């Protein structure tokens, strides 16, 4: 088979819809907006029309209280979250009908700077910046919030870099490798008054 025909077949396969959505390997993780054709604010019906039925539906609870619904798409490597939206001053989306966040755990999904699952902390900081506060007079703006967690039962350490201003966070292992990315609405930087 001539190489031109093989290349044409490969391009056609990459652009062929899969379960109502475009092939995953051309999807981009877009901070503050979505993943590929999936967007924050879409309704459940919109998601179903775009990527079909989920592999699994999960109720998100705190104790006995339902706080959201998550749809897992194993073939895409993402969880679509329909949670209570607390990114604004008012709590909204208590009916869990619209997308508030995406948890990306599939290694094929990457940001425009080629950051994704398996990327190093150094790569994340190179593309998205560090967590140093920006000082201005008697206040500081912390636009990247860094949290370090220790699992007391296993001793495992994990780090979360939350770039709230652009709408993405990275969950990293203690070894500094990205385990998951979370895409959500962007919000204001955290301000600290120093006086």
* Number of domains forming the structure of the chain: 1
Reported as a single tens digit per residue, the pLDDT across 150-167 is: 777 887 878 888 888 889
Residue 163, CA distances (Å) to 50, 103, 137, 175 in order: 27, 15, 23, 20
Quick one: pLDDT at residue 5?
46
Of the pLDDT bands very low, low, confident and very high (cuts 50, 70, 90), residue 14 is: very low
For residue 18, pLDDT over 80 is answered with no
For residue 124, pLDDT over 90 is answered with yes
Q: How many CA atoms lie within 13 A of 52 on its CB side?
A: 11
Residues in a beta bridge with 160: 147, 171
Phi, psi of 41 (to 5 degrees): 95, -15
Q: CA–CA separation, 32 vs 188, rounded Å?
A: 12
Q: Structure tokens of 45?
A: 């019906």
Reported as a single tens digit per residue, the pLDDT across 67-120 is: 889 999 999 999 999 987 666 555 666 678 899 999 999 999 999 999 999 999
Using a 10 angstrom Cβ sphere, with 0-12 exposed, 13-18 middle and 19 or more buried, the burial of residue 172 is buried
Reported as a single tens digit per residue, the pLDDT across 35-49 is: 999 999 999 999 999
**If phi over 0 gives left and psi between -120 and 50 gives alpha, with beta otherwise, what is residue 190?**
beta
User: Average pLDDT for residues 41-58, to the nearest whole number?
Assistant: 95
Residue 19 lies in domain: 3-193
Q: CA–CA separation, 178 vs 14, rounded Å?
A: 26
Quick one: pLDDT at residue 117?
96
More confident call, 50 vs 59: 50
Quick one: pLDDT at residue 2?
54
């Amino acid at each position: 088979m001539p190489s031109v025909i093989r290349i044409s077949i490969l391009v056609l396969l990459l652009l062929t819809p899969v379960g109502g959505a475009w092939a995953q390997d051309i999807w981009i993780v877009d901070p503050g907006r979505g993943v590929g054709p999936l967007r924050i604010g879409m309704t459940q019906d919109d998601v179903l029309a775009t990527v079909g039925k989920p592999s699994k539906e999960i109720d998100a609870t705190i104790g006995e209280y339902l706080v959201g619904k998550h749809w897992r798409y194993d073939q895409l490597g993402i969880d679509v979250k329909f949670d209570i939206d607390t990114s604004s001053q008012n709590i909204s989306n208590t009916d869990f009908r619209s997308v508030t966040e995406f948890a990306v755990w599939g290694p094929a999904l990457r940001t425009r700077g080629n950051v994704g699952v398996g990327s190093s902390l150094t790569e994340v900081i190179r593309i998205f910046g560090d967590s140093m506060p920006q000082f201005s007079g008697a206040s500081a703006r912390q636009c990247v919030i860094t949290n370090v967690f220790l699992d007391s039962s296993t001793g495992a350490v994990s780090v979360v870099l939350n770039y709230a201003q652009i709408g993405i966070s990275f969950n990293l292992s203690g070894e500094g490798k990205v385990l998951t990315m979370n895409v959500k609405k962007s919000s204001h930087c955290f301000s600290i008054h120093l006086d």
